[in-house]
Structure 1
Amino acid sequence: MSWSLKSSLAKLLLDTRPLRYPAYRRLWLGNVVTSVGAQFSAVAVPKQLYDLTGSSAYVGLAGLFGLVPLLVFGLWGGAIADAVDRRKLMLVSNGGLALSAVLLWLVSAAGVRSVWLVLVLFAAQQTFFAINMPARAATVARLIPLPLLPSAQALSSTVMQLGAIVGPLLAGVLLPFLGLPTLYLVDAVALTAALWAVLRLPPLPPGESAPRRAGLRAVIDGFRYLALHSVLLASFLMDIIAMVFGMPRALFPEMAERTFGDPPGGGAALGWLYAAIPLGAFAFGVFSGWLHRFARHGVGVVLGVVAWGVAVIGFGLSDSLWLAVVFLALGGGADLVSMVYRSSILQMAATDEMRGRIQGVFTVVVAGGPRLADVLHGSAGAGLGTSTAVAGGGVLVVVCAVAAACCLPAFWRYRAPTAAESLTDPDAEDRPVG
């Protein structure tokens, strides 16, 4: 292979420079461990609800039970992340996530047939998730130089997508043999193991100008900060459009059985549907080395959202499992592009004293949008049929994204701020940067 070809290939492959920084590397390795286990529970909860009720509407109801804790504790968790040591906050919230997974395992293993108990435990799990994510996301910019943020976002997303591929596929294959309780148990073990990675992080105390109390005033200050940055608001709007109208996962259990021929007890089709989106995102992430060179982040977000909507339309119209998987995978690649640029915009535009609160809003939007979509798609699928609900949602994504881009020209023109990339030796000191 010629030198020029090797050089061109290197520029396309995933940029691993952030892994040179020990603290970030530990955080990243913790995500590697939990990414597979988390997807076991992501498959188990909707499958358990569908088995108990036989209705996609109840599966969609899980979205509501997950959305309320995210709205409340996502915003409050962001304020806490700005006011306390983020490492300690991650330890507490990670422990809560592990405990909730253990309780879900106990309920399933005991054969308790209570839909409401499963929903309440799921809501508790989402509460700890909402507190954990703002601190985890806001920590990244303390561990590496800012110019490496797009590469770090691509790295983090790619490994999460790898777990989201392996997890659902394993869950779909193992479910008929090992049953639901084992899926919850794997998640609990992975979350417990991830505590080691957080323990090895350096202290992450709040900045001098950070709020001393994580109260309502701190949350309001975060919204005031957002109001002064229209580009940040626009990035949230684009994600809401993509996820609320275009995430049909609440219909996966019904489509796996009625459209793609899975047996009632679960099978491979369900696993493929859950794995297809992260499969596409992972494949695209492997060749994402060029993303940090593209400065038109606003354009990247808009094009990614439109491509996602087109892929969802194709999935809704598919009657072949493999064609459906292809469309979902293409959508996953488009979503990764949008996510990398949206995350980079938020990290670069916000000061460290505000990153926790901005990431709290980001957590509400990113995680809350799909849960609202669960409610909408579950209801629409029950009333209109799965194909109409999915394809119609994809059309709404395309139309609304184009309309938003036309109404928000400043976001379309947005470019990443230029900065001299002067990196110190990443292994010289094991402490946060900046």
Structure 2
Amino acid sequence: MTEHDPPSSAPASGRPSGLRALLPDLAPWKSSRDFRRMWIAGLVTVFGTFLTFIAVPLQLKELTGSALAVGAIGAVELVPLIVFGLYGGALADAVDRRKLILWTEAGLGVLSVLLLLNTVLPQPMVWPLYVVAGLVSALSGLQRPALQAIVPRVVAHEQLPAAVALNSLRWQIGAIAGPSLAGAVIAYAGVQCAYLLDIASYVVSAALLFGLSPQPPSHDADKPSLRGIAEGARYAWSRKELLGTYAVDMVAMLFAFPNAIFPFLADDLDAPWALGLMYAAGAAGSLAVTLTSGWVSRIHRHGRMVVAAALGWGAAMAVAGWMHNVWLVLLCLAVAGGCDTVSGLFRSAIWDQTIPDQLRGRLAGIEMLSYSVGPQLGQVRAGGMASLTNVRASVWAGGLACVASVGLLAASLPQLMSYDARTNPHAVRMRRLRGTSGVVEAA
């Protein structure tokens, strides 16, 4: 965090104290109309998306009975995510970010329609699930950098950590309600209803996003090109603390993201009724952290927090793999989710407060790959290892591998461990450029 005046929720005489100091800072919500629209639209979308997130692997399990087939979803999504994520980052720096978000949102809604149509066939087919998964990954790769890059334009500089926390809260609400509802919806109404609700969520979200203010590119923005993407990559490579955040998150997700095999873990625990709770448990832990996120503004050593939280994530997953009681497994998943949110809050704080606006889209594309490619590969690893050994071994061994890998990265990345938002030259530069309360506007 940068040194700044107390948030708007604090009394003029100093920082809030007691319970008030732990509650989320609502300053971005109060001060920015565009942020409010994006927050509500994102809540609606993430709610629907999690319905499909549960329905697709469950439908694959029912059609194939193979853990490897379910884990292969990650492999199908990987290449489109990399290609279109990098291109989407460059595109976000070169076009109106609002228009880019709207068109991709509409495309994602159409793909949900295709999933629905496949389910109403007399004999649903497997291959459309993989095709749609790849296309969803491509459109998400185009959209996410624009969504992330737009936030520093509509929120004041000192309010960015609070905005990250509020966006995290939004995701967690959907992540808890979505899987929990999905389990009930699929059990009583089938996957068709889950896909139908997802389609409705995209319609509502697009209507809200349509009211955003235009977000044109900077006046000197270049057209999307390999050269522009390379420029962003060179900047990221020059920032070793940024590289550290990418690397830590990727290895944590690669080794300790077993979500794809939750249907099999639920069966192994003789608790198929707990499948929705397994998907929701991590979000519940995340929600607990976000609802008490007022302390985030008082932490300055963001790099150390990223590493500590990633170690906690891996350790919690390892313990979850050893547990035989479903409630203890759910508790471990909740602890892991809380650790993941702590890591995400401080990664985003480093990104948002140190990257120049003219590079925000391209760096957001790289950031998206760091927190998205890892889970995709993690699904492949979890499914493949479960098929070679067993479900439990896939979970606990992945957790231990995560702890070991993050520890090695921490030892080899001193710039990440020494990062201090009060003194880091990039953070200081952006704070001076934006001013203590200014919002970056398009040139």
TM range (shorter): over 0.9
Distance in 1, matches of 2:398 and 2:72, equals 18
Is the partner of 1:51 in helix, strand or coil?
Answer: helix
* Code of the aligned partner of 1:248: P
Q: Where does residue 265 of structure 1 map in the other structure?
A: none
Q: Where does residue 414 of structure 2 map in the other structure?
A: 409
Q: Where does residue 157 of structure 1 map in the other structure?
A: 168
- Does 2:231 match 1:221? yes
Gaps of 5+ in 2: 1-10, 422-426
**Which one of the candidate residues 33, 45, 51 is aligned to 1:34?**
45
Q: Where does residue 64 of structure 1 map in the other structure?
A: 75
**Structure 1 residue 400: Cα displacement:** 1.1
Distance in 2, matches of 1:97 and 1:39, equals 13
1:266-285 to 2 correspondence within 5 Å? 268-285=273-290
Q: Is the 8 A contact 1:64 1:371 kept in 2?
A: yes
What TM-score, normalized to structure 2?
Answer: 0.92
- Does 2:336 match 1:313? no
Is the partner of 1:307 in helix, strand or coil?
Answer: helix
- Percent identical among aligned pairs is 36
* Code of the aligned partner of 1:423: S
Q: Where does residue 252 of structure 1 map in the other structure?
A: 262
- Does 2:361 match 1:324? no
**Which one of the candidate residues 346, 349, 352 is aligned to 1:341?**
346
**Which one of the candidate residues 379, 399, 423 is aligned to 2:437?**
423
Query: Cα deviations across residues 171-224 of structure 1 (Å, max 9, x unaligned)?
Result: 11221110001111111110111012211111101112321x112121111111
* Code of the aligned partner of 2:165: A
**Structure 1 residue 338: Cα displacement:** 0.3
Gaps of 5+ in 1: 263-267
Q: Where does residue 231 of structure 1 map in the other structure?
A: 241
Q: Where does residue 240 of structure 1 map in the other structure?
A: 250
Distance in 2, matches of 1:407 and 1:251, equals 32
**Which one of the candidate residues 134, 147, 165 is aligned to 1:123?**
134
1:132-147 to 2 correspondence within 5 Å? 132-147=143-158
**Structure 1 residue 368: Cα displacement:** 1.5
* Code of the aligned partner of 1:257: D
Aligned pairs, number: 421
Distance in 2, matches of 1:9 and 1:306, equals 28
Q: Is the 8 A contact 1:240 1:369 kept in 2?
A: yes
Q: Where does residue 204 of structure 2 map in the other structure?
A: 193
Query: Cα deviations across residues 227-263 of structure 1 (Å, max 9, x unaligned)?
Result: 211111111001011100110011101111222332x
Query: Cα deviations across residues 321-343 of structure 1 (Å, max 9, x unaligned)?
Result: 11111000001111001001111
* Code of the aligned partner of 2:149: A
Distance in 1, matches of 2:340 and 2:100, equals 29
Distance in 1, matches of 2:140 and 2:262, equals 23
Measured at CA, do residues 111 and 369 of structure 1 come closer, stay the same or move farther in structure 2, by a change above 3 Å? Answer: farther
Distance in 2, matches of 1:83 and 1:222, equals 13
Measured at CA, do residues 390 and 358 of structure 1 come closer, stay the same or move farther in structure 2, by a change above 3 Å? Answer: same
Distance in 2, matches of 1:87 and 1:237, equals 30
Q: Where does residue 35 of structure 2 map in the other structure?
A: 24
Distance in 2, matches of 1:191 and 1:422, equals 36
* Code of the aligned partner of 1:243: M
Distance in 2, matches of 1:294 and 1:261, equals 40
Distance in 2, matches of 1:111 and 1:99, equals 21
* Code of the aligned partner of 2:194: L
Between 108-117 and 42-51, report the one with greater CA deviation. 108-117
**Structure 1 residue 29: Cα displacement:** 1.0
Distance in 1, matches of 2:42 and 2:129, equals 25
- Does 2:395 match 1:381? no
Distance in 1, matches of 2:418 and 2:336, equals 24
**Structure 1 residue 423: Cα displacement:** 3.2
Query: Cα deviations across residues 312-369 of structure 1 (Å, max 9, x unaligned)?
Result: 0111111111111100000111100100111121122211111101111111221121
Distance in 2, matches of 1:96 and 1:83, equals 20
* Code of the aligned partner of 2:179: P
* Code of the aligned partner of 1:235: T
**Structure 1 residue 5: Cα displacement:** 13
Q: Where does residue 296 of structure 2 map in the other structure?
A: 291
- Does 2:114 match 1:98? no
**Structure 1 residue 144: Cα displacement:** 0.8
Distance in 2, matches of 1:37 and 1:233, equals 32
- Does 2:89 match 1:78? yes
**Structure 1 residue 111: Cα displacement:** 4.0
Q: Is the 8 A contact 2:157 2:436 kept in 1?
A: no
**Structure 1 residue 432: Cα displacement:** 4.9
Distance in 1, matches of 2:238 and 2:220, equals 19
Distance in 2, matches of 1:42 and 1:113, equals 18
Query: Cα deviations across residues 151-183 of structure 1 (Å, max 9, x unaligned)?
Result: 111110111011000010111122111000111
**Structure 1 residue 147: Cα displacement:** 1.6
**Structure 1 residue 128: Cα displacement:** 0.9
What TM-score, normalized to structure 1?
Answer: 0.94
Q: Is the 8 A contact 1:158 1:285 kept in 2?
A: yes
* Code of the aligned partner of 1:225: Y
Distance in 1, matches of 2:117 and 2:193, equals 10
Distance in 2, matches of 1:148 and 1:88, equals 25
Query: Cα deviations across residues 16-38 of structure 1 (Å, max 9, x unaligned)?
Result: 11102111111111111112111
Is the partner of 2:221 in helix, strand or coil?
Answer: coil
